[in-house]
Structure 1
Protein backbone atom coordinates (compact mmCIF):
# COMPACT_ATOMS: atom_id res chain seq x y z
CA UNK A 1 0.00 0.00 0.00
CA UNK A 2 1.18 3.50 -0.82
CA UNK A 3 0.99 6.06 1.95
CA UNK A 4 0.44 9.62 0.80
CA UNK A 5 3.10 12.11 1.90
CA UNK A 6 1.61 15.18 3.52
CA UNK A 7 2.63 17.93 5.89
CA UNK A 8 1.60 17.29 9.48
CA UNK A 9 0.22 20.10 11.56
CA UNK A 10 -0.73 20.30 15.23
CA UNK A 11 -4.17 18.74 15.68
CA UNK A 12 -4.02 16.57 12.52
CA UNK A 13 -5.57 13.11 12.79
CA UNK A 14 -4.34 10.18 10.72
CA UNK A 15 -6.22 7.00 9.81
CA UNK A 16 -4.61 3.57 9.46
CA UNK A 17 -4.31 4.29 5.73
CA UNK A 18 -2.28 7.44 6.28
CA UNK A 19 -4.93 9.88 5.03
CA UNK A 20 -5.35 13.02 7.01
CA UNK A 21 -8.85 13.17 8.45
CA UNK A 22 -10.39 16.62 8.13
CA UNK A 23 -8.37 17.85 5.13
CA UNK A 24 -10.65 18.44 2.13
CA UNK A 25 -10.06 16.74 -1.20
CA UNK A 26 -11.11 18.42 -4.46
CA UNK A 27 -11.82 17.42 -8.03
CA UNK A 28 -12.81 20.00 -10.64
CA UNK A 29 -13.50 20.20 -14.33
CA UNK A 30 -10.57 21.70 -16.18
CA UNK A 31 -12.52 21.79 -19.46
CA UNK A 32 -16.22 21.86 -20.29
CA UNK A 33 -17.72 18.48 -21.20
CA UNK A 34 -20.82 17.99 -23.34
CA UNK A 35 -23.30 15.19 -23.93
CA UNK A 36 -25.27 15.19 -27.17
CA UNK A 37 -28.28 13.05 -28.02
CA UNK A 38 -27.84 10.63 -25.09
CA UNK A 39 -29.84 9.95 -21.95
CA UNK A 40 -27.39 7.21 -20.87
CA UNK A 41 -25.64 8.04 -17.58
CA UNK A 42 -21.89 8.50 -17.89
CA UNK A 43 -19.22 8.69 -15.21
CA UNK A 44 -17.62 12.12 -15.33
CA UNK A 45 -14.02 12.12 -16.57
CA UNK A 46 -12.74 14.51 -13.87
CA UNK A 47 -15.22 14.68 -10.99
CA UNK A 48 -14.30 11.69 -8.84
CA UNK A 49 -12.48 11.16 -5.51
CA UNK A 50 -11.43 8.16 -3.37
CA UNK A 51 -13.35 7.29 -0.21
CA UNK A 52 -12.14 5.04 2.63
CA UNK A 53 -14.15 2.16 4.16
CA UNK A 54 -16.03 2.77 7.43
CA UNK A 55 -15.78 6.56 7.08
CA UNK A 56 -18.02 9.61 7.08
CA UNK A 57 -17.59 12.50 4.65
CA UNK A 58 -19.07 15.95 4.24
CA UNK A 59 -19.64 16.49 0.51
CA UNK A 60 -20.15 19.66 -1.52
CA UNK A 61 -20.67 19.65 -5.29
CA UNK A 62 -21.16 22.82 -7.36
CA UNK A 63 -22.00 22.65 -11.05
CA UNK A 64 -22.45 25.20 -13.81
CA UNK A 65 -24.59 23.77 -16.62
CA UNK A 66 -25.89 24.95 -19.99
CA UNK A 67 -28.19 23.25 -22.46
CA UNK A 68 -31.54 23.39 -24.23
CA UNK A 69 -34.64 23.55 -22.04
CA UNK A 70 -35.96 20.40 -23.77
CA UNK A 71 -32.97 18.19 -22.80
CA UNK A 72 -32.51 18.93 -19.09
CA UNK A 73 -29.79 17.34 -16.93
CA UNK A 74 -29.92 14.11 -14.92
CA UNK A 75 -27.34 14.01 -12.11
CA UNK A 76 -26.38 11.27 -9.62
CA UNK A 77 -23.31 9.60 -8.14
CA UNK A 78 -21.62 6.24 -8.38
CA UNK A 79 -20.55 5.24 -4.86
CA UNK A 80 -19.12 2.07 -3.26
CA UNK A 81 -21.53 -0.74 -2.32
CA UNK A 82 -23.29 -0.20 1.00
CA UNK A 83 -22.72 3.57 1.04
CA UNK A 84 -25.40 5.50 2.91
CA UNK A 85 -26.35 9.12 3.39
CA UNK A 86 -28.37 11.80 1.67
CA UNK A 87 -27.66 14.85 -0.40
CA UNK A 88 -29.57 18.13 -0.42
CA UNK A 89 -30.30 19.31 -3.95
CA UNK A 90 -30.71 22.94 -5.00
CA UNK A 91 -30.96 23.99 -8.63
CA UNK A 92 -33.38 24.85 -11.42
CA UNK A 93 -36.58 22.78 -11.47
CA UNK A 94 -36.91 20.42 -14.44
CA UNK A 95 -39.66 22.59 -15.99
CA UNK A 96 -37.60 25.84 -16.15
CA UNK A 97 -37.47 27.94 -19.29
CA UNK A 98 -35.28 30.76 -17.93
CA UNK A 99 -32.65 31.39 -15.25
CA UNK A 100 -35.24 33.25 -13.12
CA UNK A 101 -37.76 30.38 -13.12
CA UNK A 102 -38.70 27.89 -10.37
CA UNK A 103 -36.06 26.20 -8.19
CA UNK A 104 -35.85 22.56 -7.14
CA UNK A 105 -35.09 21.92 -3.45
CA UNK A 106 -35.09 18.24 -2.45
CA UNK A 107 -33.22 15.48 -0.62
CA UNK A 108 -32.10 12.16 -2.18
CA UNK A 109 -29.72 9.24 -1.67
CA UNK A 110 -26.36 9.67 -3.44
CA UNK A 111 -27.01 7.18 -6.29
CA UNK A 112 -30.51 8.55 -7.04
CA UNK A 113 -30.64 10.37 -10.39
CA UNK A 114 -32.13 13.87 -9.98
CA UNK A 115 -33.46 15.93 -12.91
CA UNK A 116 -32.63 19.62 -13.24
CA UNK A 117 -33.69 22.17 -15.79
CA UNK A 118 -31.21 23.67 -18.24
CA UNK A 119 -31.09 26.91 -20.22
CA UNK A 120 -28.71 28.32 -22.79
CA UNK A 121 -27.48 30.69 -20.06
CA UNK A 122 -25.49 28.88 -17.38
CA UNK A 123 -27.48 27.70 -14.37
CA UNK A 124 -26.08 26.72 -10.97
CA UNK A 125 -26.65 23.42 -9.19
CA UNK A 126 -25.46 22.88 -5.62
CA UNK A 127 -25.61 19.53 -3.85
CA UNK A 128 -24.31 18.82 -0.37
CA UNK A 129 -24.72 16.21 2.31
CA UNK A 130 -23.19 13.38 4.30
CA UNK A 131 -21.77 10.22 2.75
CA UNK A 132 -21.10 7.20 5.00
CA UNK A 133 -19.14 4.24 3.64
CA UNK A 134 -19.41 0.69 4.94
CA UNK A 135 -16.92 -2.17 4.45
CA UNK A 136 -16.14 -1.15 0.88
CA UNK A 137 -14.09 1.91 0.13
CA UNK A 138 -13.63 2.99 -3.46
CA UNK A 139 -14.48 5.92 -5.67
CA UNK A 140 -17.22 8.53 -5.46
CA UNK A 141 -17.89 9.59 -9.06
CA UNK A 142 -20.31 12.19 -10.45
CA UNK A 143 -22.61 10.53 -12.99
CA UNK A 144 -24.70 12.54 -15.47
CA UNK A 145 -26.55 12.64 -18.80
CA UNK A 146 -29.23 14.51 -20.67
CA UNK A 147 -32.56 13.73 -19.07
CA UNK A 148 -34.12 13.56 -22.54
CA UNK A 149 -31.86 12.79 -25.52
CA UNK A 150 -31.53 15.96 -27.59
CA UNK A 151 -29.42 16.92 -30.60
CA UNK A 152 -28.27 20.09 -28.78
CA UNK A 153 -25.57 19.53 -26.15
CA UNK A 154 -25.96 19.72 -22.40
CA UNK A 155 -22.63 20.96 -21.06
CA UNK A 156 -21.11 20.63 -17.61
CA UNK A 157 -18.90 23.71 -17.55
CA UNK A 158 -15.25 24.03 -16.56
CA UNK A 159 -14.61 24.89 -12.90
CA UNK A 160 -17.56 22.80 -11.70
CA UNK A 161 -16.23 20.91 -8.67
CA UNK A 162 -16.60 18.12 -6.13
CA UNK A 163 -15.25 18.54 -2.57
CA UNK A 164 -15.20 15.89 0.15
CA UNK A 165 -13.92 16.11 3.69
CA UNK A 166 -13.50 13.01 5.83
CA UNK A 167 -14.75 13.61 9.38
CA UNK A 168 -14.49 10.07 10.86
Structure 2
Protein backbone atom coordinates (compact mmCIF):
# COMPACT_ATOMS: atom_id res chain seq x y z
CA UNK A 1 0.00 0.00 0.00
CA UNK A 2 3.00 2.33 0.35
CA UNK A 3 2.72 3.32 -3.34
CA UNK A 4 -0.78 4.69 -2.82
CA UNK A 5 -0.85 8.25 -1.48
CA UNK A 6 -4.39 8.06 -0.08
CA UNK A 7 -3.79 5.09 2.23
CA UNK A 8 -2.01 5.06 5.58
CA UNK A 9 0.31 2.36 6.96
CA UNK A 10 -2.72 0.31 8.03
CA UNK A 11 -4.22 0.40 4.53
CA UNK A 12 -6.95 2.85 5.54
CA UNK A 13 -7.96 5.96 3.63
CA UNK A 14 -6.28 9.24 4.51
CA UNK A 15 -6.13 12.77 3.16
CA UNK A 16 -2.69 13.48 1.72
CA UNK A 17 -0.62 16.06 3.62
CA UNK A 18 0.13 18.88 1.16
CA UNK A 19 1.63 21.28 3.70
CA UNK A 20 5.18 20.88 2.33
CA UNK A 21 4.16 21.47 -1.28
CA UNK A 22 4.98 24.94 -2.64
CA UNK A 23 2.22 27.46 -3.24
CA UNK A 24 1.83 28.09 -6.94
CA UNK A 25 -0.86 29.47 -9.19
CA UNK A 26 -2.94 26.52 -10.33
CA UNK A 27 -5.64 26.40 -12.97
CA UNK A 28 -7.86 23.75 -14.46
CA UNK A 29 -10.42 23.64 -17.26
CA UNK A 30 -13.00 20.88 -17.54
CA UNK A 31 -15.70 20.28 -20.12
CA UNK A 32 -19.08 18.58 -20.00
CA UNK A 33 -22.18 18.71 -22.15
CA UNK A 34 -25.87 17.95 -22.22
CA UNK A 35 -27.88 17.09 -25.32
CA UNK A 36 -31.44 18.36 -25.34
CA UNK A 37 -34.43 18.33 -27.69
CA UNK A 38 -35.25 21.19 -30.01
CA UNK A 39 -38.14 22.13 -27.70
CA UNK A 40 -35.85 22.47 -24.69
CA UNK A 41 -33.24 24.34 -26.73
CA UNK A 42 -35.87 26.86 -27.82
CA UNK A 43 -37.26 27.24 -24.29
CA UNK A 44 -33.78 27.81 -22.86
CA UNK A 45 -32.68 30.27 -25.53
CA UNK A 46 -35.97 32.18 -25.39
CA UNK A 47 -35.97 32.13 -21.56
CA UNK A 48 -39.33 30.33 -21.48
CA UNK A 49 -38.54 27.55 -19.02
CA UNK A 50 -40.94 27.61 -16.07
CA UNK A 51 -38.12 27.27 -13.51
CA UNK A 52 -36.41 30.42 -14.80
CA UNK A 53 -33.22 31.31 -16.66
CA UNK A 54 -31.64 27.88 -17.03
CA UNK A 55 -28.13 29.00 -17.96
CA UNK A 56 -27.95 31.65 -15.23
CA UNK A 57 -29.01 29.15 -12.57
CA UNK A 58 -26.70 26.45 -13.95
CA UNK A 59 -23.79 28.89 -13.90
CA UNK A 60 -24.38 29.76 -10.25
CA UNK A 61 -24.78 26.06 -9.42
CA UNK A 62 -21.46 25.31 -11.14
CA UNK A 63 -19.66 27.94 -9.05
CA UNK A 64 -21.27 26.52 -5.91
CA UNK A 65 -20.23 23.02 -6.97
CA UNK A 66 -16.61 24.09 -7.37
CA UNK A 67 -16.66 25.74 -3.94
CA UNK A 68 -18.16 22.63 -2.27
CA UNK A 69 -16.06 19.95 -3.98
CA UNK A 70 -14.23 19.16 -0.75
CA UNK A 71 -17.63 18.48 0.87
CA UNK A 72 -18.61 15.75 -1.60
CA UNK A 73 -15.32 14.17 -2.76
CA UNK A 74 -13.88 12.45 0.33
CA UNK A 75 -10.14 13.09 -0.09
CA UNK A 76 -10.28 16.58 -1.59
CA UNK A 77 -8.79 19.45 0.39
CA UNK A 78 -10.79 22.59 1.13
CA UNK A 79 -9.31 25.10 -1.29
CA UNK A 80 -9.50 28.86 -1.36
CA UNK A 81 -10.57 29.43 -4.95
CA UNK A 82 -9.56 32.71 -6.56
CA UNK A 83 -11.75 32.35 -9.64
CA UNK A 84 -14.42 30.21 -11.27
CA UNK A 85 -15.80 30.94 -14.73
CA UNK A 86 -18.37 28.98 -16.71
CA UNK A 87 -18.96 29.38 -20.43
CA UNK A 88 -21.50 27.85 -22.79
CA UNK A 89 -21.81 27.15 -26.49
CA UNK A 90 -24.51 25.39 -28.50
CA UNK A 91 -24.09 22.86 -31.32
CA UNK A 92 -26.90 21.54 -33.45
CA UNK A 93 -26.84 17.77 -33.94
CA UNK A 94 -29.43 16.25 -36.29
CA UNK A 95 -32.72 16.94 -34.49
CA UNK A 96 -31.19 17.81 -31.12
CA UNK A 97 -28.88 20.41 -29.59
CA UNK A 98 -25.79 19.98 -27.46
CA UNK A 99 -24.94 22.53 -24.80
CA UNK A 100 -21.16 22.52 -24.32
CA UNK A 101 -20.01 23.57 -20.87
CA UNK A 102 -16.51 24.80 -19.99
CA UNK A 103 -15.55 25.32 -16.34
CA UNK A 104 -12.33 27.22 -15.57
CA UNK A 105 -11.08 27.28 -11.98
CA UNK A 106 -8.09 29.04 -10.44
CA UNK A 107 -6.31 29.19 -7.09
CA UNK A 108 -2.98 30.05 -5.55
CA UNK A 109 -2.15 27.20 -3.24
CA UNK A 110 -0.41 23.92 -2.61
CA UNK A 111 -2.83 21.56 -4.33
CA UNK A 112 -4.55 21.56 -7.71
CA UNK A 113 -8.08 22.44 -8.79
CA UNK A 114 -8.81 19.68 -11.29
CA UNK A 115 -11.54 18.16 -9.13
CA UNK A 116 -13.14 21.58 -8.61
CA UNK A 117 -13.29 22.17 -12.38
CA UNK A 118 -14.73 18.69 -13.01
CA UNK A 119 -17.30 19.15 -10.24
CA UNK A 120 -18.30 22.55 -11.61
CA UNK A 121 -18.83 21.17 -15.13
CA UNK A 122 -20.79 18.18 -13.80
CA UNK A 123 -22.93 20.29 -11.49
CA UNK A 124 -23.72 22.63 -14.35
CA UNK A 125 -24.95 19.79 -16.60
CA UNK A 126 -26.97 18.25 -13.76
CA UNK A 127 -28.63 21.58 -13.04
CA UNK A 128 -29.66 22.01 -16.67
CA UNK A 129 -31.18 18.52 -16.52
CA UNK A 130 -33.02 19.30 -13.29
CA UNK A 131 -34.45 22.55 -14.61
CA UNK A 132 -35.65 20.98 -17.88
CA UNK A 133 -36.75 17.47 -16.88
CA UNK A 134 -40.44 18.46 -16.66
CA UNK A 135 -40.37 19.10 -20.42
CA UNK A 136 -38.33 16.03 -21.45
CA UNK A 137 -36.50 13.45 -19.37
CA UNK A 138 -34.65 12.13 -22.44
CA UNK A 139 -31.72 14.56 -22.17
CA UNK A 140 -28.26 13.01 -22.24
CA UNK A 141 -25.38 14.29 -20.15
CA UNK A 142 -22.20 13.81 -22.16
CA UNK A 143 -18.61 13.08 -21.32
CA UNK A 144 -17.03 15.12 -18.56
CA UNK A 145 -13.27 15.45 -18.74
CA UNK A 146 -10.23 17.55 -17.87
CA UNK A 147 -9.05 19.72 -20.75
CA UNK A 148 -6.01 21.23 -19.08
CA UNK A 149 -4.35 22.00 -15.80
CA UNK A 150 -1.39 24.19 -14.90
CA UNK A 151 0.83 24.56 -11.85
CA UNK A 152 2.16 22.17 -9.26
CA UNK A 153 5.05 19.74 -9.11
CA UNK A 154 3.65 17.44 -11.80
CA UNK A 155 3.61 20.27 -14.32
CA UNK A 156 1.04 21.15 -16.91
CA UNK A 157 -1.42 18.90 -18.71
CA UNK A 158 -3.03 19.80 -22.02
CA UNK A 159 -5.38 17.30 -23.66
CA UNK A 160 -4.36 16.88 -27.27
CA UNK A 161 -7.00 14.47 -28.53
CA UNK A 162 -10.56 15.60 -29.19
CA UNK A 163 -13.24 14.15 -26.93
CA UNK A 164 -16.72 13.85 -28.36
Question: Relative to total residues, which structure has the larger helix share, 1 or 2?
Answer: 2
**Fold agreement, TM-score > 0.5:** no
TM-score (norm 2): 0.36
Greater relative CO (CA pairs within 8 A, separation 6+): 1
